[in-house]
Amino acid sequence: MHDVYQFVSGPLAWAAFGLFVGGSLYRIAAMILLARRKDVQVFEYMSLRYALRSILHWSVPFMSVNMRQRPVMTVVTFLFHLCLILSPLFVLGHVVMFDTSFGFSWPALPDQLADAMTLVVVAACLFFLGRRLSLAEAQYVTSFSDYAILALVAAPFITGFLAYHQFLDYQLMLVLHIVSGEAMLVAIPFTRLSHMLFAPFTRAYIGSEFGAVRHARDW
Amino acid sequence: MKRILTFAAALAVLALVAAAPGLTQEDVRLLAAPAFAPARRAPVPFNHDQHNAAGNIEACNTCHHAYQDGRLAPDDDSVGMACADCHAADGNSPVHLMNAYHRQCSGCHEQSGKGPVMCGECHPRE
Amino acid sequence: MYSNGSTMTREPVQDDGLALGLARLTPERIAATTQAFLKEETGARLQVYLDTCVHCGLCSEACHYYLSHDKDPSYSPVGKVNQTILQLVKKNGRVSPEFIGQAARVAYTECNLCRRCSMYCPFGIDIAYMVGLVRRLCFKLGVTPKYLQDTVNSHSATLNQMWVREDEWIDSLQWQEGEARDEVPGLRIPLEKEGAEIMYSVIGPEPKFRTQLIYQAAVIMHAAGADWTMPATPGWDNSDMAMYSGDYELMGRLKRAHFETAMRLKVKRIVMGECGHAFRSIHDVGNRWLGWRDRPIPVIHAVQYYHELLTSGKIRIAKKYDEAVTFHDPCNIVRGMGLGDMGREVAKALTPELVEMHPNREHNYCCCAGGGVINCGPPFRNTRVSGNKIKAEQLAATGVKTVIAPCHNCHGGLEDIIHHYKLDMKIKFLGDLIYECMEKPWE
């Protein structure tokens, strides 16, 4: 198991980060180049002011009409994304591993808080699963890949929780945690998780069209 | 009610550990440098003689290394000194105390292919 | 349980245009046309939109079709994307003629391209753009609804939407001028007046069967002392059904003729009648096809012009309209130009009370006629009317008897809804009320 651990936390981690960063840069650059050829209006009508206006209204909870119409979904979505991004970046284990390898660290979250945030992510994934299964408008457009992506996101958090508490087989859980985390990172540029990369652009563009061209709100 | 139950459970566990045969204070030390207090992870149980026997470690300075003018002094050792004497916990030394432990222990374990390398293998849940 | 991309359950509709087009299709031709279309005419926007959409369904509540059909998910915006462009991309065009028939029906008759869903998508995905792509492909495959295609054919042959011949156009204007001179001595509808300040442009249906609107506009222009003209040549029609059928080449011809007519007359600006889709075509669709970032000449909508006339005092209001009204926000000038407040200010100046519909302004529900849907004609009248129960409920909740809608398509759509749901309501243009309530110094 130690060989496996050393492999997944060493070369495989480098590969995963490389694919995540390189893949993300590649996809954004490729889209910008494609847009320059095929979607010139995206650049022509991009307006910093209205892009930021739109991003602001959709980054603050309850600032858009749709968010106010669905308060539960809004709260869950915001908590989910907040915990999803912050807990891996600031959980003690990750900060310490980084420090050990690179001699470089930053403040970590208290353990109980990181633990709670992990559970929030898992609970939110269950909520999204329930939503997909029970809401007709979501069910109608859900395919296998939507469930797969949900599982991909939940997996590192479930295994991370189990490994931290040393429940079940600790060594196995830690390895699964690392592998699933790497899988999720690599999936970001190449699956629908790429909304992480592209959402700022789609928002900025529609915000610019609505604000600068059509003089209307888009929230 | 919940607190009382937790407390009772903790007491029971302590009693079991204390009653376990062969585990005496002398054999197993807990690596708990005062500089770490309050520590966020459990101190690492460490049996000096067993560890050296298992690892075929003969020279003291394999672990108790000594540096002079920023260079490793291969014939010297630092037996009798605490790690924290050189490696400050607050990050003011080139290798702060936590990194000194982590790199020293798991670095060697990884290289030699022996001994624990995963976080929880050394730091048990309390 | 719904399966992804499944065909929806709809009453069969006989549309000769769609049927004719489908009869000529083969799977090979569909694949070749679709692949060329995706390669040549789509790019980063489509890819990013399809990749970014997480199928959350949050756009559903935005759509009046969805709301009016008891939340049937096959009418939700993302549901329509899934039934059409997503499958075309996934299968790289290898779909059956039946699939294209369904896709055409969804794209042409179950979406008004009202763009409300973009305001509900957390990512701001431009779903109307994607539905527009489906229409463009259907046009390229020759699968277009018959009535819509007929207006497009008219555009192509006459540069106006209603098969109005050049002499008929001039006759209609002179006829209205003659009628109006009985009421207002000295009134003119200046034709071909080079160097006038304003070129007034209307849509094809005005000379065809709403000539009183030209009459009213002439009276308002006269009272305001406007320096205006109308062209005597093709190019007078600002409407554009080609934009909605997917015939963008023709859309370009229409917009160029319109702009060039104004340039030839050396006017300072174009004032448009109360039409929504024509405004969209001129303001941010047709102009772009021609390569204009903005417009080659300033263009304002009637709502803006009326507002200008009232605030500058060129038109004075003599009396108020005799009852409370509500104000319908046309998508193309409210979500398309933010004219909701200006329209309300004009309406409030003319009426004793304005009762709001909810939601309103950018969040209004579409009339369900726009986006060329009403132009798909009788075969799809029920699609429109049953697809907008929500609007009927919204109208009824105001309790008023008059709805103002500064848009021709909205008039057509609301009229059918009011009739079908047996609402006791009249529909007015802002111009109707201004004509009725303004000071007429000659009286």
Cβ of residue B126 closer than 8 Å to a chain A Cβ: no
Same domain, C122 and C163: no
| Total count of residues recorded for chain B | 126
* Total domains, chain C: 3
How far, CA to CA in Å, does A202 sit from each of A32, A42, A194, C79, C124? 12, 9, 12, 20, 6
Beta-carbon separation of C49 and A202 below 8 A: yes
Report the predicted TM-score, pTM, of the whole model to 2 decimal places: 0.92
**CATH code, domain carrying C339:** 3.40.50
Best of A1, A2, A106 to mutate (most B CBs within 10 Å, chain B): A2
Q: Is C243 in contact with C277 (CB distance < 8 Å)?
A: yes
pLDDT tier for residue C11 given thresholds of 50, 70 and 90: confident
Q: What pLDDT is recorded for position B42?
A: 92
Query: C159 and C192, same structural domain?
Result: yes
More confident position, A84 or B6? A84
> What pLDDT shows up at residue B126?
67
Alpha carbon distance B41, B38 (integer Å) = 9
The pairing of beta strand C299-301 with beta strand C228-229: unpaired
Whether residue C225 sits in one domain with residue C127: no
Q: Look at residues C300, C330, C345 and tell me which one is the last residue of a structural domain.
A: C300
* Burial letters B30-57, b for 16+ CB under 10 A, else e: eeebebbeeeebebbeeeeeeeeeeeee
- Cα C356 from chain centroid? 22
Residue C175 inside a domain? The answer is yes
Mean pLDDT of chain B: 80
Check: CB of residue C392 under 8 Å from CB of residue C417.
Answer: yes
Partners of residue A69 in chain C, C-beta under 8 Å: 61
The residue out of C126, C144, C162 marking a domain boundary is C144
Q: Is the pLDDT of residue B7 over 70?
A: no
Give residue-wise pLDDT tens across range B90-120.
877 889 999 999 999 999 999 888 899 999 9
pLDDT exceeds 50 at position B40? yes
- Residues C133, C156: one domain? no
* Residues C271 and C191 both lie in one domain: yes
Are A174 and B110 a contacting pair at CB < 8 A? no
- Flag whether C305 is in a domain: no
Instruction: Determine whether the interchain pair A202/C125 forms a contact, defined as Cβ–Cβ distance below 8 Å.
Output: yes
Residue C68 in tokens:
């009016």
**A197–chain C nearest CA distance, Å:** 9
Taking one residue from A and the other from B, the number of pairs with CB-CB distance under 8 angstroms is 38
- Cβ burial of C280 (10 Å; 0-12, 13-18, 19+) is buried
Chain C nearest CA to A178, separation (Å): 25
Is C190:C196 a contact under the CB 8 Å cutoff?
yes
| Confidence at residue B13, expressed as pLDDT on a 0 to 100 scale | 43
| A5 closest CB neighbour out of B40, B103, B117 | B117
Cα C410 versus chain centre, distance: 8
Q: Residue C371 pLDDT > 50, yes or no?
A: yes
Which of B113, B117, B120 comes nearest A163 by C-beta? B120
CA distances from C167 to C16, C233, C234, C237, C402 (A): 31, 9, 10, 14, 36
Chain C residues touching A153 at Cβ < 8 A: none
Q: Both tokens of residue C108?
A: 């042409």
The Cα C14–Cα C380 span in angstroms is 9
Sign, Cα dihedral of A15, A21, A22, A28? positive
Chain B residue nearest residue A167, CA to CA? B125
C145-174 mean pLDDT:
97
**B98 with A99: Cβ contact below 8 A:** yes
Domain match, C64 and C107 both: yes
Which tokens belong to B35? 């500089």
Q: What is the CATH number of the domain that holds C91?
A: 1.10.1060
Q: What pairs with residue C198 in β-bridges?
A: C228, C269
Mean pLDDT of C46-65: 96
- C118 in a domain, yes or no? yes
Same domain? For C139 and C155 the reply is no
SS3 content of chain A, % helix, strand, coil (to 5): 85, 0, 15
A1 vs chain C: nearest CA distance in angstroms?
Answer: 37
- Is C310 within a domain? no
**Shared domain check, C282 and C161:** yes
The rounded percent of chain C whose pLDDT value lies above 70 is 98
* Count of beta carbons in the 10 Å neighbourhood of residue A141: 30
C181 occurs within a structural domain: yes
- Residues of chain A with C-beta less than 8 angstroms from the C-beta of C56: 138
C163 with C128, same domain: the answer is no
| Same domain (yes/no): C296, C325 | no
Strand partners, C237: C202
Three-state SS string over chain B comes to: CHHHHHHHHHHHHHHHHHHCCCCCCCCCEEECCHHHCCCCCCCEEECHHHHHHHHCCCCHHHCCCCEECCEECCCCCCCCCCHHHHCCCCCCCCCCHHHHHHHHHHHHHHHHCCCCCCHHHHCCCC
Residue C326 is assigned to a structural domain of this protein = yes
Res. A162: pLDDT tops 70: yes
Indicate whether C276 and C326 sit together in one domain: no
Same domain? For C394 and C428 the reply is yes
**What is the distance in angstroms between the Cα of C56 and the nearest Cα belonging to chain A?**
6
The residues that bridge with C191 in the sheet, in sequence order, are: C230
Domain span at residue C429 reads: 318-437
In 3-state terms, what secondary structure has residue C407?
coil
Q: Is residue C161 part of a domain?
A: yes
CA distance A82 to chain C (A): 16
| Record: contact B118-A99, CB cut-off 8 A | no
Inside any domain, residue C442: no
